[in-house]
Amino acid sequence: MPPAIPADDDRALLHADCSRCAALCCVLPPFAASADFALDKPAGRPCPNLAADDRCGIHAQLPERGFRGCVAFDCFGAGQQVVQVTYGGRDPRGEPEALAVLDAMRGLSELLWYLAEALTRPAAAPLGAGLTALRDRVRGLRDAPPAELAVLDVGRLRREAGALLRDVGERVRSELPGPRRDHAGADLAGARLRRADLRAACLRGALLIGADLREADLRGADLLGADLRGADLRGADLRGVLFLTRPQVAAARTDGATRVPETVR
């Protein structure tokens, strides 16, 4: 069931609709055998688990079959945007630039997700003009033709947005109660943080792989780009966190007591 998001919020549109895609994520990107993928797959070759009807043949058993990377993947609606808008409803899997186009579209869509959230934060009101201008640019780029998308420097846009989003995070966290610890970019892989008070903390870009965050209080924390793969969030409170995405939640371990924002539920 889609999360409850206001109709005028871009995040309402940034959800994968596989029925309007062409299994692009199962064909175009390469992946290597690892803890996330059970085998090697070169770019442009269909995953061996992809059925003739473009559905995953092992969807219900992905973690058990060694495809945790697929569970955590989210295109933010890039797949259907590429098929239905960029290529006008036709299957682009045979086009030489298709992978670059999909990568660019996913980057733009994820960036639009962050900008949309920033614009909902009252503390970010003084930054509204800059956020709105960048959001409108990103919206326009998502409608660009394939040739333009294939060479788009999404990294430059991310860097431009990064300064704005950092300012948003600081403004929002400054108004919240809590110790507001700064762990930006910290290596906290495997850290024992059970029941830790991380309210309004800056965990932007932090490595939290396998960290024990059971029952931790993360309310109002900035989690932009935090690596939560395998992090234990059972019973953790993530209400009001900044810049959390569905892939981050899917990559972590959660339970019925984990409290997350409606937008990523």
Query: Who contacts 15 (Cβ-Cβ below 8 Å, separation ≥6)?
Result: 2, 76, 77
The Cα 242–Cα 236 span in angstroms is 15
The Cα 193–Cα 8 span in angstroms is 37
Pick the closest to residue 162 from 224, 119, 120, 241 (CA basis): 224
Do the Cβ atoms of 212 and 230 come closer than 8 Å? Answer: no
Q: Which residue has the tokens 């299957």?
A: 91
pLDDT at 265: 78
DSSP 3-state of 97: coil
Show pLDDT as tens, one digit a residue, over the chain (265 residues).
334 445 468 998 899 999 999 999 999 999 999 999 999 999 999 999 999 999 999 999 999 999 999 999 999 999 999 999 999 999 999 999 999 999 999 999 999 999 999 999 999 999 999 999 999 999 999 999 999 999 999 999 999 999 999 999 999 999 999 999 999 999 999 999 999 999 999 999 999 999 999 999 999 999 999 999 999 999 999 999 999 999 999 999 999 999 999 989 7
Do the Cβ atoms of 237 and 259 come closer than 8 Å? Answer: yes
The Cα 152–Cα 4 span in angstroms is 32
Pick the closest to residue 134 from 120, 151, 118, 115 (CA basis): 115
Phi, psi of 143 (to 5 degrees): -100, 10
Q: How far apart are the first and last CA of the chain?
A: 9
CATH class of 178-265: mainly beta
Query: What are the structural domain ranges in the chain?
Result: 10-173, 178-265
